[in-house]
Amino acid sequence: MERTFDELKLTGRLPSPSAVGLRILKLTQAEDYSQEELCATIQSDPALAGRIIKLANAVLSDGMEPVTSVEKAAMRLGSSTVRTVALGFTLVSDNRMGDCTNFNFDHYWSRSLARAVACSVMSRLKSQVDPAEAFTSGLLCGIGKLALATVHPVAFSKLLRERRAHATREWFAAENRLFAITHSEISSLMLKDWGFPGAFSQAARIFEHDVVRPNDEEEDQAWALVDLLRWSTQIADLCLEPREFENTRWRGLWYGLDQVAHEMQVERDELYHLCDEVARRWEDWGQILCVPTRESLSFVETAVDVEHHRARSRGLWMVPQGEPKAIMEQALDAQTQQGRRPYRVLIVDDDEAVGRVLGHQLEEAGYQVLLARDGDEGLRLAVGEVPHIVITDWMMPGMDGAEFCRSLRQVEAGKKMHILMVTAKDEEDDVVAGLESGADDYLTKPFNAKVLMARVKAGQRLVEMHEKSVEADRLKMQDGADMGIMNRKLAEASHTDPLTELPNRRYAMKRLKQEWERANRTGRPLSVVWIDLDHFKQVNDTWGHDIGDYVLREAAKTIRQTLRQGDTVCRVGGEEFLAICCNSDLKNATTGAERIREALEANEMQFTRFRGHVTASLGIAQRLPTMSSVDDLLKAADEMAYAAKDAGRNCVRGWQGPWRQSRSA
């Protein structure tokens, strides 16, 4: 997968932040960058500066004064958040068109922006996620689609024309066949490549997949982001979809909000108010970024209109809101007393008498029963209550049984339900049409009650088999995940120094070879710093090995904290460390080495009876064209460390001049 991604990068056509965005990325990879430098870089792009200030004001708490400058925005949001948001925004303005004819670039950014705003608003319910970071995650989590549309415009356009559902197993399989990588994997790797937090890339990789967090796993930031992205995608799609009661897709999305409210653990009315805030902010951000949006959709008013529409479509008859719940609770009590697992059956029929008769028979047989008078109400109950079995009539006012089946199968929970269609239509073509609409079984009227119950029990057996299969798959995946964790821990242990918890010499050699090959391919500079603690043997001899171990741990901690983000330090010997400085020439590596030397010298260590400073002699070498392998690079750095010791210790020396092959002989 990473090899395929590297090939995509080599095309030079992947979406990329603007020049300002890239400067921000490069600047913030250094550990010692200042907030003043970051703000000055942002201010060089007035449009970006305005967006940063607006975002800072969007997360105002009560009593806080509005932000009017980039400096204050950075103080309020935090430098890391400003960096993340700035990189996200610069992508929008520079990637608005392309050659992929069937890819709607404006729709892509409009949907991404709606999801970003929804993530920011809904993050109030997730303490692990900062609103500004949630915004950027929502904006960029689908960047892999934009990448495929940009790098492979013809092939991706053809795929878009042939397949309409963009987040199904079939779609991901088709992407894998065509490109040997999926858009979710590309999104994850691009975010990782740009230096975004690991939780961002992990959430981007899995949020569109049918992956559920195990019940025994604590919610970390990545899983919190996954929840936010899934909820926000549903809300974004509702914002974009025209509000038409006869629109099957819109109805499916609307009734899907019941499930979102259930997962968020909020009342539907509260969710509708949050969604109204999303719609308003979406419009505001659309004007700022010149991204098209739709007129604000009032979710609160729509909820009222939906109820009125349902009432008009079915006449005066309405099932009271509390009745389905009451029936379920009574059946649940009965099943609990009998020690059997309750199964829920939803009956959707416009004939009130038929519904009640069927419901009575099923309750007598020990099932929980839900009653719906039409397809709209049936869809709402199916999504909100998630029955195991659905019995639906075909001929109903408004949404008929076939359309109801198709709508239900578009909802994730509906794909797992067993649907039995009951109708007076008995022609062969009717049977075929009913089954093709999504029904699992078909029964013609008039029907025998015993036959109906036998069909229901057969459906129950299929549901049980499916649940057992899902559980078996889950256990298998869990075993695989546990084995993977164990293997990763063993691999990590084999590459980790147990005393300092730094990577060990084995990892250093492996990593250095990888960076050497990458430098050969890209032509980017590569440098190493050999760090040798001064007079460490005296520490051990004078104070004992426990103090020596403490000094090594403290020195390792100081070096790791002083290095730039993206550089790696390893313990390669008793008191010797190696820093691998990617994309760094001799001058930059020397600056970093001097920073390490100063930090070690200034760090006063105190442990039991020991109190003092530790210094180091540092040797630096840059990869040169005449060097044949990493061994040459390490030999040059090692020689410079000895030169530093000869010069009186506590100093830095760098390799100057060419490298002659005879030196490595």
Please state the separation of Cα 276 from the chain's center in Å.
24
CA distance 282 to 494: 49
Greater model confidence, 264 or 4: 264
**What's the first-to-final CA gap in the chain, in angstroms?**
39
Greater model confidence, 433 or 337: 433
Q: What is the pLDDT of residue 600?
A: 93
Over range 640-653, report the average pLDDT: 95
Torsion sign over Cα 655, 660, 662, 665: positive
Q: Place 322 in a pLDDT band, splitting at 50, 70 and 90.
A: very low
Structural domain for 28, as ranges: 1-306
- For residue 508, the SS3 value is helix
**Residue 414 domain flag:** yes
Residue 328's contacts (CB-CB under 8 Å, 6 or more residues apart) are: 344, 368, 369, 370, 385
**Residue 585 domain flag:** yes
Q: What is the pLDDT of residue 88?
A: 65
**Residue 316 domain flag:** no
Greater model confidence, 480 or 590: 590
Residue 91's contacts (CB-CB under 8 Å, 6 or more residues apart) are: 15, 16, 17, 18, 21, 139, 140, 143
Q: What is the pLDDT of residue 597?
A: 94
Q: What is the pLDDT of residue 339?
A: 42
Q: What is the pLDDT of residue 324?
A: 37
Greater model confidence, 158 or 73: 158
**Residue 415 domain flag:** yes
Average pLDDT, the chain: 80
Nearest to 292 by CA among 107, 54, 112, 99: 107
What CATH number is attached to the domain comprising 564? 3.30.70.270
In terms of domains, do 61 and 164 share one? yes
In terms of domains, do 516 and 642 share one? yes
Q: What is the pLDDT of residue 297?
A: 65
Token pair listed for 351? 């004939």
Beta-strand relationship, 389-393 and 418-423: parallel
In terms of domains, do 465 and 512 share one? no
Greater model confidence, 136 or 574: 574
Torsion sign over Cα 461, 466, 471, 472: positive
Supply angle C-alpha 100, 105, 107, rounded to 5: 135
**Residue 329 domain flag:** no
Greater model confidence, 499 or 70: 499
Q: Place 81 in a pLDDT band, splitting at 50, 70 and 90.
A: low
Token pair listed for 240? 């974009």
Domain boundary among 443, 469, 495: 469
In terms of domains, do 509 and 464 share one? no
Half-sphere exposure of 150 (CA within 13 A, CB side): 21
The owner of tokens 């009227």 is 445
In terms of domains, do 268 and 363 share one? no
Domain boundary among 306, 327, 358: 306
| 327-374 confidence digits (pLDDT tens) | 334 434 434 444 445 788 999 988 887 788 788 888 888 888 888 888
Q: What is the pLDDT of residue 654?
A: 94
- Quick one: which H or E segment has residue 460? helix 449-494
Supply angle C-alpha 52, 56, 59, rounded to 5: 140
| 16-69 confidence digits (pLDDT tens) | 777 777 777 677 666 667 778 888 888 887 777 877 787 777 655 545 677 788
CA distance 177 to 475: 28
In terms of domains, do 399 and 455 share one? yes
In terms of domains, do 465 and 509 share one? no
Token pair listed for 152? 């492979």
The 3-class SS string of 126-139 reads: CCCCCHHHHHHHHH
In terms of domains, do 39 and 169 share one? yes
Helices (H), 180-247: 183-193, 198-206, 221-240
Total Cβ atoms within 10 A of residue 439: 27
Q: What is the pLDDT of residue 341?
A: 54
In terms of domains, do 10 and 134 share one? yes
Helices (H), 1-130: 2-10, 19-28, 35-43, 46-58, 70-77, 79-94, 105-122
**Residue 62 domain flag:** yes
Q: What is the pLDDT of residue 56?
A: 75
| 363-413 confidence digits (pLDDT tens) | 888 888 888 888 888 888 887 788 999 999 888 888 888 888 888 887 777
Q: What is the pLDDT of residue 111?
A: 93
**Residue 639 domain flag:** yes
If you compute the radius of gyration of the chain from its CA atoms, what whole number of angstroms results? 31
Beta bridge partners of residue 528, listed in sequence order:
580, 621
- For residue 103, the SS3 value is coil
Contact 650, 601 (CB under 8 A): yes
Contact 251, 66 (CB under 8 A): no
Contact 494, 553 (CB under 8 A): no
In terms of domains, do 124 and 254 share one? yes
Greater model confidence, 320 or 565: 565
In terms of domains, do 509 and 563 share one? yes
Q: What is the pLDDT of residue 216?
A: 43
Q: How many domains does the chain have?
A: 3
| 578-602 confidence digits (pLDDT tens) | 999 988 899 999 999 999 999 999 9
Domain boundary among 441, 469, 497: 469
Residue 616 scores a pLDDT above 60: yes
Residue 481 scores a pLDDT above 80: no
* Percent of the chain residues topping a pLDDT of 90: 21
**Residue 664 domain flag:** no
What CATH number is attached to the domain comprising 462? 3.40.50.2300
What's phi and psi for 621, nearest 5 deg?
A: -145, 140
Q: What is the pLDDT of residue 308?
A: 64
Q: What is the pLDDT of residue 35?
A: 75
- For residue 82, the SS3 value is helix
The 3-class SS string of 514-571 reads: HHHHHHHHHCCCEEEEEEEECCHHHHHHHHCHHHHHHHHHHHHHHHHHHCCCCCEEEE
- For residue 418, the SS3 value is strand
CA distance 437 to 439: 6
Buried-state track 209-234, b at ≥16 Cβ within 10 A, e below 16: eeeeeeeeeeeebbbbbbbbbbbbbb
CA distance 512 to 516: 6
Q: What is the pLDDT of residue 14?
A: 80
Residue 252 scores a pLDDT above 80: yes
Q: What is the pLDDT of residue 212?
A: 65
Q: Place 325 in a pLDDT band, splitting at 50, 70 and 90.
A: very low
In terms of domains, do 292 and 416 share one? no
Residue 624 scores a pLDDT above 60: yes
Q: What one-character-per-residue DSSP string does 154-186 give?
A: HHHHHHHHH---SSSHHHHHHHHHHHSS-HHHH
Q: Whats the size of the chain, residue-wise?
A: 665
| 148-192 confidence digits (pLDDT tens) | 998 888 888 888 887 655 556 778 888 888 888 889 999 998 888
